[in-house]
Amino acid sequence: MTDDVLLSIENLSVALPQGGDRGFAVEEVSLSVRRNEIVCLVGESGSGKSITAHAVLRLLPANLDVASGAIRFHGADLAAADEATMRGLRGGPISMIFQEPLSALNPLARVGDQIAEAILTHTKPRPSKAALDARVLELVAAVGLPDPATLVRSYPFQLSGGQRQRIMIAMAMSNNPALLLADEPTTALDVTTQKQILLLIRKLQAERGMGVLFITHDFGVVADIADRVVVMRGGRVVEQGSVDEVLRAPKDDYTKALIAAVPGSRPASTLDRGIGGDPLLDAQGLNKSFVTGQGLFRPDRRVAAVHDVALTLRPRETVAVVGESGSGKSTLGRIIMRLIEPDSGAIDFDGTDFLQLRGVQLRSMRRKVQIVFQDPYAALDPRQKVGDAIARGPMAYGVPAVEAIADAKRLLARVGLKDSAIERYPHEFSGGQRQRICIARALALKPLVLVADEAVSALDVSVQAQILALLAELREEMNLAMLFITHDLRVAAEIADRIVVMRRGEIVEQGETRSVFSAPQHAYTRALLDAIPGRSLFAGPQAVELPGAMIA
């Protein structure tokens, strides 16, 4: 082993409990991370990449064991180290950024106190309170958070996703680690926030000469940050090499498939579909504000979530509503669904004043507009069989149970699942399969409009590609109009006929997809395009260069 190798994983195997579809979560995995190097560990959910990282810090679940192999840090085998040694390494020489900061942070402690705790755990003798407070403020400022003195007194729920992730990075950097393990740290973030986090990790890594093992499923992210790439599938390494070698000349078919699945790399064939006719849905002047109490002696805080929004949707048309978290796009989708009542405005849906409907009339019209939510794990009742989840809606509208179950089987087959799925429960399916079930449930009522609220943002890029292709096929088969809500312009480019860009509750730009990409008019749209990860990934003789993105 050369002197600059920080981490060396040699033939690592982690056994799974008996009775599963494979014997090992990780099997014969070998990789290394050097000083001042970022190694991206890439693969789909279940590929073993997170298990590999957790094995380094001995944070494996109780039912998983390292069956064989070595994990060497500075030459010492961590797989054989005692717990006292590991406690000294965790959060000190080796730090980790977890995927979901809201789960990783203590909801009952202020974020400044949590950073201070990480410092105190590895600092002897104990620093003075003044020195500790100064160090916390220094770390918060270093990760680019505004007004550190105020922010450190906040609780995690009071911060945005990007701010929470920066707090996690500050904690990870608190003891100047030599090795940083980053487990999907940008997966659920907006593209602009994602870009900021990637730049921050790269900046801190370069300043401190750290080695970084960066786990992701997105080759767009890999193109932006990696020095070397390791590709895993089914617990095994199928390919590894420099970022240029793997991205420009992948050898394994699985690597090629993952690269091809990155949104924006496939032809955007939906751009010239000849959509015309009168709008099926015409929303005008929509406004919605939320009021939050600030305490006994402070005025309430009013936030305009949607302000004077006008939107049309034609039969068979897909309109993508794009923006960062807090832009108002999900609130707009829920207003269209009548899940939230607007403060003012009008919605004409299929020739009817939708906002004036009440009781039976509203219930009858509601079956014509259905929604697919972002999180397929939370969207399904864990105690309800899949068949019942799909059939219950039609049965509520008077469809006989036998007919509703038969339709449920047909829809499950159409979304790529077997008939046997009808008798199974949601926990028996993967995230992508659950989203297919949610789509089948939404289509069971034969809607005219489907609202997809971040319906693919939590999925692996390969599963994401399958769901996008499925939605495009179903749109044509069932003459669906779709309101597709997303923060990812790469996804919007693949499925949308028109794009609506929202910022702080207002529409700042809208137009045909190719027009928005080729000639964005608003600075915010240009910023979103510029934040798309992996823009260089798709450069080639058949690519059409657009500002901030490459679309074949």
Determine phi and psi for 14, rounding to 5 degrees: -120, 120
CA distances from 70 to 8, 331, 474, 512 (A): 8, 50, 49, 55
What's the angle, vertex CA 221, arms to CA 259 and CA 491, rounded to 5? 65
**pLDDT of the residue at 405:** 93
**pLDDT of the residue at 292:** 66
Element (H, E) at 327: none
Determine phi and psi for 113, rounding to 5 degrees: -65, -35
Q: Of 60, 97, 47, whose CA–CA distance to 230 is shortest?
A: 47
Q: What is the pLDDT of residues 51-105, one digit of tens each?
A: 999 999 999 888 888 899 999 999 899 988 889 999 999 999 999 998 778 788 9
Helix axes 461-478, 431-443, angle to 10 degrees: 10
Distance CA 310, CA 347 (A): 9
Pairing of β 549-551 and β 544-546: antiparallel
Q: Of 457, 52, 460, whose CA–CA distance to 240 is shortest?
A: 52
**pLDDT of the residue at 295:** 59
Q: How many CB atoms lie under 10 A from the CB of residue 539?
A: 10
**pLDDT of the residue at 104:** 86
Q: How far apart are the first and last CA of the chain?
A: 43
Distance CA 178, CA 5 (A): 11
Distance CA 145, CA 151 (A): 8
In whole angstroms, what separates CA 28 from the centre of its chain? Answer: 29
Structure token digits, residue 24? 């090992």
Radius of gyration of the chain (CA): 25
Q: Confirm if 139 and 170 have CB atoms less than 8 A apart.
A: yes
- The three-class DSSP label of residue 257 is helix
**pLDDT of the residue at 260:** 83
Contacts of 105 (CB under 8 A, 6+ apart): 111, 114, 156, 164, 167, 168
Q: What is the pLDDT of residues 219-264, one digit of tens each?
A: 888 988 999 999 999 899 999 999 999 998 999 999 998 888 887 6
Q: Which residues of the chain have pLDDT under 70?
A: 1-3, 19-21, 188, 264-274, 292-301, 535-552
**pLDDT of the residue at 213:** 96
Q: What is the pLDDT of residues 322-369, one digit of tens each?
A: 998 778 898 999 999 999 999 999 999 988 999 999 999 998 888 899
Q: Of 300, 299, 319, 317, whose CA–CA distance to 309 is shortest?
A: 319
φ/ψ bin of 14: left (φ > 0), alpha (ψ from -120 to 50), beta (otherwise): beta
In the chain, ranges of CATH 3.40.50.300 domains? 1-93+178-260
CATH of 1-93+178-260, one of 3.40.50.300, 3.40.50.12140, 3.40.50.11890, 3.40.50.720: 3.40.50.300
Pairing of β 37-42 and β 211-216: parallel
